[in-house]
Amino acid sequence: MGKKKGGMGTECASVARSRGFFVRNVARQRPRSREELGAWVENRLGVVVPDRAVCAGHNSPMDYLWHAFGGDFAPVERTGGDCVVWANRGGGKTRLAAIATLLDCWFKADCQVRILGGSLEQSSRVYAEFAEFVREGFEKGLVGRMNKGGCRFVNGSAVRILPQSDRGVRGVHVHKLRCDEVELFDPGVWAAAQFCTHSKGGIAAAVEAASTLHEPAGLMQRVLDRARGAGTPVFRWCLWETIERCVDRSCSRCALDAYCQGKAKQSRGYIRIDDAIAQMRRSSRADFESEALCLRPSRRSAVFEEFDPEVHVAVTPYDANLPTYRAIDFGFVNPFVCLWIQVDREGVVRVIDEYVRRKATVAVHAEEIRRRTPTGANVAGTFCDPSGAGRNDITGTSPVQELAEMGIPTRHRASAILDGIARIRAFVRSGDGRIRLRINPRCERLIEAMQCYHFPEAGRGGTSEAPEKDGVHDHPIDALRYFFVNWGREGKEKIRGY
């Protein structure tokens, strides 16, 4: 069948010819190393990407960019391109995502990229940065003109922005999904996004999650925890990897010196030192350490703000000369928790072990409690959730009764949540600065809970003064509460024996 001049057939043939010419020419320009990549980005886009990790355990922004771009050309095939970026405010996350997107579309034929921000506005910011780079002489590679939602290249690559919605994410099948400000994502949208990417044509599937870490129990914290457990690369940088190099300032007279300690003299970044000083002065210490230095999530909503793993976590072995206490929070769908606790002669509470398990019977828990309790231990008390004394309408028994029948009698007393929290806080750090709580490193769930247990954020349904019950971090804390509200009150608890 013949084609009309200027019709769709002619356009397709023209695009096909342009595609062949484009792919052959661009292939010869492709950076072959991270050094070549840095030079290409600087010469073609006018952006100098910092390439020096200053803080221990940190990465440089170039580490991320080379991973995102260079992995598809690696001689040894890797399992995937997923990664997580934890970086400071103003640390270039949005701009780097835009650069990585241009590199993918320019150098990788048929590469399909989607941008998903914490809001449609955030997605649009990434795309706007990308569009600015395209206008630096890359329009010749486009099919037609750019529009506000995406564009297509003659080599078959394309980029589009996605709305922060379940419907916008489902049904999408692409190579690369770049997620910016993950902390602000709806958890359901994030869950759906995990199924968007597929490897094809030599291009590895990749979900990239970038954000500042704002909340101790937020989505970004869960993303980081899962990435570390799965061996997914985590790229972390902060102010000291992205600040301009300090060459002529006196450290002793610099407002940043308490944090900097000479780090800025090693930096090769772009954030103005005076701007960093201004940010520090107009923000709280907690916010500066969270947003700029990426030391930890903001603690403003944390129940135990004074808890510091470097101070409160220490090896605390079982001492046969001390009495042993157990504290239990009952659960089935939610976790059942048991803590083993001793109090030394200085009055320091030492949590020596933990047991956390879901969806198991009381009999299974009882067997594990007996197994983990040190042989010959002087068990001075097993304190529990008062609700455990309630009888089940079907079985006619209660968890407290079942434990007692298996040789584990328990004690309990009613108490207000905030009263128990106040007691824990006094041991985390008392008014005179004394620390009387130590947690063994093996108690990973309790340590996580001490950092992540939080009050509801104002503006997010946070109307109660009570901490948020998230079904994860509240249960280890509840078990610890039951210890503190019962310990030292022998004779006042209700003692259940059957």
| Per-residue model confidence (pLDDT) at position 22 | 56
Cα–Cα nearest to 327, from 339, 342, 344: 339
Tell me: the pLDDT tens digits for 244-286?
Answer: 999 989 999 999 999 999 999 999 999 999 999 999 999 888 7
| Per-residue model confidence (pLDDT) at position 1 | 37
Tell me the Ramachandran region of residue 153: left when phi exceeds 0, alpha when psi lies from -120 to 50, beta otherwise.
Answer: beta
pLDDT (average), residues 5-11: 41
- Joined together, the tokens standing for residue 179 give 């997620």
Q: Are 123 and 210 in contact (CB under 8 A)?
A: no
Is pLDDT of 75 > 90?
no
pLDDT (average), residues 126-139: 94
Task: Please state, rounded to an integer, the average pLDDT across all residues of the chain.
Answer: 88
Is pLDDT of 239 > 90?
yes
What is the CB neighbour count within 10 angstroms for residue 457?
A: 14
Half-sphere exposure of 143 (CA within 13 A, CB side): 21
H-assigned helices in 374-416: 399-405
Identify the weakest region by mean pLDDT among 71-75, 182-186, 206-210, 374-378: 71-75
Q: Are 46 and 136 in contact (CB under 8 A)?
A: yes
H-assigned helices in 141-186: 166-169
Q: Band of the pLDDT at 143, cuts 50, 70, 90?
A: very high
Tell me: the pLDDT tens digits for 52-63?
Answer: 999 999 999 999
Tell me: the pLDDT tens digits for 84-130?
Answer: 999 999 999 999 999 999 999 999 999 999 999 999 899 999 999 99
Tell me: the pLDDT tens digits for 394-445?
Answer: 566 899 999 999 999 999 998 899 999 999 999 999 888 899 999 999 999 9
Tell me: the pLDDT tens digits for 317-354?
Answer: 999 999 999 999 999 999 999 999 999 999 999 999 99
pLDDT (average), residues 186-194: 94
Tell me: the pLDDT tens digits for 9-27?
Answer: 444 545 455 555 555 566 5
Rounded Cα–Cα distance for residues 498 and 493 (Å): 16
Q: Are 429 and 340 in contact (CB under 8 A)?
A: no
Q: Band of the pLDDT at 234, cuts 50, 70, 90?
A: very high
| Per-residue model confidence (pLDDT) at position 468 | 86
Rounded Cα–Cα distance for residues 79 and 65 (Å): 18
Maximum Cα–Cα distance across the chain: 98
| Per-residue model confidence (pLDDT) at position 410 | 95
Write out the DSSP string of 236-277.
EE-HHHHBPPP-S--GGG-TTHHHHTTGGGT----B-HHHHH
Q: Are 97 and 161 in contact (CB under 8 A)?
A: no
Going along the chain from its start, the domains and CATH numbers come out as 18-237 (3.40.50.300), 241-291 (no CATH), 309-496 (3.30.420.280)
pLDDT > 90 fraction of the chain, expressed in percent and rounded: 69
Identify the weakest region by mean pLDDT among 173-187, 210-224, 228-242, 470-484: 210-224
- Joined together, the tokens standing for residue 89 give 């405010």
User: CA distances (Å), 138 to each of 104, 148, 152, 226, 233, in order?
Assistant: 13, 17, 12, 38, 31
| Per-residue model confidence (pLDDT) at position 493 | 39
